[in-house]
Amino acid sequence: MERLQKVIANAGITSRRKAENFIEDGRVKVNGKVVRELGTKVSHRDAVQVDDILIDKEEPVYYLLYKPKQVISAVSDDKNRKVVTDYFEDVNARIFPIGRLDYDTSGLLLLTNDGEFANMMMHPKNKIYKTYIAKVEGKPTKEEIESLKRGIELEGIKTAPAKARVKSTTKKTNSSIIEISIHEGRNHQVRKMFEAIGHPVIKLKREKYDQLTLGNLKPGEKRELKPIEVKKLKESAVT
């Protein structure tokens, strides 16, 4: 038995909090009857409807994908470009990406059909750190790296403090490799942060998501998360 709002969230319809609003507003039915009580629990045998549409109660699944460049972090694209769910044609669950990686950014991306888990991972207050390796133009000074750590003002809003360090520099190409970790998810944030300090990104890859790494995966490959990995991610979100 699970709480009704969690079942709705796990179906990927909306977040758990919005599901609670749906219940209170009388938009949810269980076995044909409107239910407004948030503590209601249902089993897999119960028929749950949201706005009179029957939902499928899938078992939650969690995947890690090594997203290649030039792939859209979405379930579909109106320009018929390749999307991340194209790599999951063998998976029957209705999964979706947790957050996104830019079209030209490669690396670690999580996908799930668990709406509550996805919201937990993306909520800024939970401070789930994502680590990127950026190849940038030029060689950032120590002060420029410190400014990334303190936070950069982007479009009138200061970013949260980041973790950043120079891994290497190459005089021949006048470029540097920087490791940076952030827990926010603003649009093109890492690229904009480096542009703000005068060192545009040449290449960007996400290598870590909290404690998760790409391991031996190659671009386009995926694996299912282990239960202990899901448990640790949830623990990171509440600590």
Q: Convert the pLDDT of each residue in 60-73 to its tens digit.
A: 899 999 999 999 99
Contact indicator for 176, 139 with CB cutoff of 8 Å:
yes
List, by residue number, the catalytic residues.
Answer: 102
Q: What is the pLDDT of residue 185?
A: 85
Residues 171, 137, single domain; the answer is yes
Two tokens at 24?
């209170």
Looking at residue 198, its amino acid is: G
Q: What is the pLDDT of residue 71?
A: 98
CATH value at residue 100: 3.30.70.580
Q: Which domain holds residue 229?
A: 65-115+218-238
Q: What is the pLDDT of residue 152?
A: 94
Sequence length of the chain is 239
Residues 78, 194, single domain; the answer is no
- Would 59 be classed as within a structural domain? no
Q: Tell whether the model's pLDDT for residue 128 goes beyond 90.
A: yes
Nearest to 96, CA basis, from 18, 204, 11, 20: 11
**What is the enclosing helix (H) or strand (E) of 33?**
strand 33-34
- Would 12 be classed as within a structural domain? yes
- Whole-angstrom CA distances from 203 to 132, 144, 190 are 10, 19, 11
Nearest to 102, CA basis, from 145, 132, 80, 139: 132
- Would 32 be classed as within a structural domain? yes
Looking at residue 64, its amino acid is: L
Which positions ≥6 away from 8 have C-beta within 8 Å? 14, 16, 19, 22, 28, 48, 50, 55, 115
Query: pLDDT-based confidence at 180, cuts 50/70/90?
Result: very high
Q: Tell whether the model's pLDDT for residue 1 goes beyond 80.
A: no
Q: What is the pLDDT of residue 123?
A: 86
Residues 106, 149, single domain; the answer is no
CATH value at residue 30: 3.10.290.10
- Would 120 be classed as within a structural domain? no
pTM of the model: 0.80
Count of domains for the chain: 3
Give the ranges where 108-172 is alpha helix by DSSP (H). Answer: 115-122, 142-150
Q: Tell whether the model's pLDDT for residue 12 goes beyond 80.
A: no
